[in-house]
Amino acid sequence: MSNQLLRVDALTHRYGRERGLDGVTFAIDSGVGALVGVNGAGKSTLLRILAGAQRPTSGSVSLAGLNPFGRDRADALSRVGLMPQTSDFPKNLTAHEVVASIAWFKGVSSRQAKTRAAEALARVGLEDRANSRMGQLSGGMARRVALAQAIVSEPDILLLDEPSTGLDPEQRRAMIALVRSLPATVVVFSSHVMEDVEDVAADVLILDAGRLIYENSLVQLQERGAAVSTQSAPGSRAEVGFLDVLSDSRGRARA
């Protein structure tokens, strides 16, 4: 479909002989989607590829109809923002300098970059620490700087890798509220926290061993969880549904 902002076709990525991703295909035209999977499922690899930070072994990515690995790379990358799972910002730079530099890299003018950086830091509750050097910030604050740099260019496609990691409960609630209010047309976030998924996502993608094994609405996943939930399978309906999808897929793979 021509209105699909994010499209992935037969995406495969290898690490030596190991497949980090194996023929992943999906498309999203709007809304918030959760990318769920156990450690090593390929979530971070997929998000880095979608952000243009890592070239896939094969397959294609389209961001608003643009190829992030082709001649229209600069234009494509200006449409997407990534909050990585871990970040290593220079410790001698201030939070404002980090966010402004990312805005400038995304094509925002130098003057606008400074203004937008201040606005982005305010949105994540760090306006009073804008001039603090990264080396002086706590882990939770550094995570919020990572979120600020992802939203500073006002991207159409926002990718968040484990956004609640390192946040206390109050900061997590603020992050959830911010994600809900973002103007980005497509938001894809990975999380191990099913509470995050149920609070924010409309749709769920489940990866296992690099394969996409589930693509459906959160409601469908919750209904699946409710259908199999028992006292011996505690947890939220979405969590039980996720575990049932994994069990079913792995059982079919062994058969």
On whether both 34 and 93 belong to a single domain, the answer is: no
Inform me whether the pLDDT recorded for 221 exceeds 60.
Answer: yes
Q: Are 98 and 90 in contact (CB under 8 A)?
A: yes
Inform me whether the pLDDT recorded for 33 exceeds 50.
Answer: yes
pLDDT of residue 2: 43
Helix, strand, coil proportions of the chain in percent (round to 5)? 40, 25, 35
Sign of the alpha-carbon torsion through 18, 20, 22, 23: negative
Over range 202-207, report the average pLDDT: 96
On whether both 56 and 161 belong to a single domain, the answer is: yes
Would you say residue 166 lies in a domain?
Answer: yes
Would you say residue 180 lies in a domain?
Answer: no
On whether both 72 and 5 belong to a single domain, the answer is: yes
Cα(52)–Cα(207) distance, rounded to whole angstroms? 20
Taking only the tens place, the pLDDT of each residue in 143-174 is 999 999 999 999 999 999 999 888 888 888 88
Taking only the tens place, the pLDDT of each residue in 38-54 is 988 999 999 999 999 99
Q: What CATH number has the domain bearing residue 74? A: 3.40.50.300
On whether both 218 and 161 belong to a single domain, the answer is: yes
On whether both 165 and 233 belong to a single domain, the answer is: yes
Domain that holds residue 128: 86-154
Cα(118)–Cα(97) distance, rounded to whole angstroms? 10
Q: Which residues neighbour 172 within 8 Å (Cβ) at sequence distance 6 or greater?
A: 164, 196
Cα(110)–Cα(104) distance, rounded to whole angstroms? 6
On whether both 44 and 66 belong to a single domain, the answer is: yes
Exposed (0-12), middle (13-18) or buried (19+): which is 19, by Cβ within 10 Å?
A: middle
Would you say residue 178 lies in a domain?
Answer: no
Sign of the alpha-carbon torsion through 47, 65, 199, 240: negative
On whether both 212 and 131 belong to a single domain, the answer is: no
Higher-confidence residue of 217 and 255: namely 217
On whether both 75 and 165 belong to a single domain, the answer is: yes
On whether both 148 and 161 belong to a single domain, the answer is: no
pLDDT of residue 1: 37
On whether both 65 and 123 belong to a single domain, the answer is: no
Cα(15)–Cα(45) distance, rounded to whole angstroms? 10
Number of domains in the chain: 2
On whether both 194 and 226 belong to a single domain, the answer is: yes
pTM beyond 0.75: yes
